[in-house]
């Protein structure tokens, strides 16, 4: 089993990835729901970060530093930096404040100075707002955003024909890759007889709202 399938299995075991009937922000009735905020203890965050590190390594993207957008990206970027260091690759990391600090060191960036090729680490991309803000911050510091890594790509259309992931790739010319995507989820479900009905429901949902390729 590769790390993508292991990640799906881990997310299901932690009830981070759930099946049923859920309403998305777009008002769609989705047969599954992914809430990365439920990786909410030390052991879960440690393992999650290890999966991110494997996805980053597999991407072969050239990286000089890591950036986590506030707020969800803050614990993620710190944990991923630790996981990568343990794997033999220590990189500087930083994150932003929502409001600039007027005293002390000042500014709205915490951690290492932004320089070189910076990889953005986030949980998911829905509207892409935090990614757009991150790209602006990185470029304003004179650095270059080199990509985005997220936990799960739903490979689902936004308001148009493209997914939020594809829109980020188009708008900024940078790759977006995920620890796992909808293809990986479907592959996992089809290998398990107990998930047969869930796979069928997700396949129907994908036929209605999915994109051909994402990330």
State the catalytic residues.
101, 103
Residue 105, exposed/middle/buried by CB under 10 A (0-12, 13-18, 19+)? exposed
Q: How many helices (H) and strands (E) does the chain have?
A: 7, 8
Distances, alpha carbon 37 to alpha carbons 15, 73, 98, 110, 177, in Å: 11, 11, 19, 22, 19
How far apart CA 111 and CA 81 sit, in angstroms, is: 12
């Amino acid at each position: 089993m590769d790390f993508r399938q292991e990640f799906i299995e881990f997310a299901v075991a932690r009830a981070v990835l759930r099946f049923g009937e859920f309403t998305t922000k777009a008002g769609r009735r989705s047969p599954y729901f992914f809430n990365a905020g439920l990786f909410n203890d030390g052991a879960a965050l440690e393992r999650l970060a290890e999966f991110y590190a494997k996805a980053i390594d597999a991407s072969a993207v050239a990286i000089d530093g890591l950036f986590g957008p506030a707020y969800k990206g803050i614990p993620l970027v710190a944990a991923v930096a630790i996981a990568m260091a343990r794997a033999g690759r220590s990189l500087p990391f930083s994150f932003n404040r929502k409001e600039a600090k007027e005293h002390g060191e000042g500014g709205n960036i915490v951690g290492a100075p932004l320089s070189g090729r910076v990889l953005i680490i986030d949980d998911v991309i829905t509207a892409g707002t935090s990614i757009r803000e991150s790209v602006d911050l990185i470029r304003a510091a004179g650095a270059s955003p080199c990509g985005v890594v997220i936990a799960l790509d739903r490979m689902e259309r936004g308001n148009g024909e493209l997914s939020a992931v594809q829109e980020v790739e188009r708008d900024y010319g940078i790759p977006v890759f995920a620890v796992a995507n909808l293809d990986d989820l479907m592959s996992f479900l089809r290998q398990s007889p107990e998930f047969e009905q869930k796979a069928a429901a997700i396949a129907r949902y994908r036929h209605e709202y999915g994109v051909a390729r994402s990330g």
